[in-house]
Structure 1
Amino acid sequence: MAERVTRFAPSPTGPLHLGHAYAALVAAGRSDRFLLRIEDIDRARCKPEFEAAILDDLRWLGLSWEIPVMRQSDRLPAYDAALARLYETGLTYHCTCTRGDIKAALSAPQEGAAMIGPDGPVYPGTCRGKGHRAGALRLDMAAAMARLGEIGFHETGVRAGEHIYSVAQMIEKVGDIALARRDIGTSYHIAVVVDDAAQAITEVTRGEDLFEATAIHVVLQRLLGLPTPAYHHHRLIRDDQGKRLAKRDDARALAKYRAEGATPEDVRRMVGLPPISSQKSGKIL
């Protein structure tokens, strides 16, 4: 059986909570090699103290990973190279629209209700074909899909099976997604596909809230000539009202439970995982 390589990729913008613990434990439990990646491209929000706390919490949970840890802030040249390659193919364009411009365009009476895609409201294509030389960089999805045809990926998690997306689906329901923001110079979509390939990830494990973004990642992998791994989207850990946990949910931060005397086994129980003692070697979560 081929070696299974997974990763956990937190952003150091706040403390880890129970949802992060579940995600990390699932990824580690499904791996032969477990890697860690720090997604810190948003330098305005990422803090060294949060990264230090993340590493401490993960060690406390009993996890270990290969060294060195990959940090996105060290990999901007790799993202620039990927963006340049896409730009040279003629499949991207610069966009000068603000969020307000996009909202106004989508709220025009003739537009009807805005289609909501993985990145929010589907961009109406205002800047497509205008030849701007600055601004955010967007993918011309119609041109990209004309080159690729339908795309798909294999899912082993909450929506297990083969998922196929037609050209029309990607154009209408995803649209011209942003590949590089003006303030950061890249995007989650570009960074994640470039980094997964660089780390030779064979199975991406992450929350089901990112399921809809996976088709975008497959498009970028195909355009950049990168491998498409298997995907395992797991359930989300939610609060008593059914809302998924977020970084602002400090009441469920691992540090709080640790301070109150909780053990790693207690955390496993709280997120619905079996105790370590009951797991056989090689058990897949």
Structure 2
Amino acid sequence: MGEKRVITVLGATGSQGGSVVRAIAADPTSGFVARAVTRNKGKAEELLALGIEVVEADLDDEASLRRAFDGAHGAFVVTNWWEPPTADSVWTSRTEREQGQAGNAARAAAATGLRHVIWSTLADTRPYLPDAPRQEAGYTVPHADGKAEANAFFLDAGVPTTFVTAPMYYESLFTFNAPRRAEDGTIVLAMPIGSAQVVSGTVDDIGRTVHAIFGRGDTLVGRTVPIASDLCAGEDFAAGIAEALGEPVRYVPVDPAALAHSGMPDAGEVANMFQYFINAEKDLTQIDFDWLRDLNPGLQPFGTWASANRDRFRALSL
């Protein structure tokens, strides 16, 4: 086999970027090798110990991105809207910062001649939420809408790009969407998705799918690939958790609007996001799973994943 092609992975110690690094490292015969980009020195040591090249770069600094992309075949680009700008940041909002970072990445990719970029984006929610309260920068779901607009940076720069959209993570069932023990002793799963099926998946499937897209060469350039492991309604999540725990779990739908007044951080943003899942269900769930499984045969249906993670559910101390 010839020299391996380098894939620069941004956010290499985060959820999405970390899964991409793991997927590339787990397949030494693929012809690709990961170059991990991170600012987290502690986690960088862990990657170095695994024999993975680690470089330091900052999405706020285009010149550093050019250095990270130099000599690479491709890159996985992901931004983190949820990370607030620092006190000395030139950006005035998280949305402005995220779009500025996407622009930096697109220009750096064009300048260094990357052959294939995979940009982790999301859909514009505004057509599905015409009457929803506006949030930061006038968007309904800023962390999605801002990314959707940022797609244009890659297109306008002429960068060969595949666009991927991440699912609602199964892993949120250990945190934000975790089940709880009710006063009557039963386990309740309360989620603000009504009766809708939601595009869902495990973080690991993001990495494996992205790795497979790079493996397809330029055949998927210009395409948008929805990364999904399963389509799940609240009852499906409850059934999978019940099987993992060995006792019944009752699903209780919550009105997303109630979240807006909950006092939680970014309450309006999160409430609109879940309302979008409900309003856009018909369009979001039009996914060709046969095609996705051909791309990534290891896609994990929720029930299978829940059973494999039964110890993590039991660790919730319900």
TM normalised by structure 2 equals 0.30
- Highest RCO, 1 vs 2 (Cα 8 Å, sep ≥ 6): 1
The structure with the greater share of residues assigned to helix is 2
TM normalised by structure 1 equals 0.32
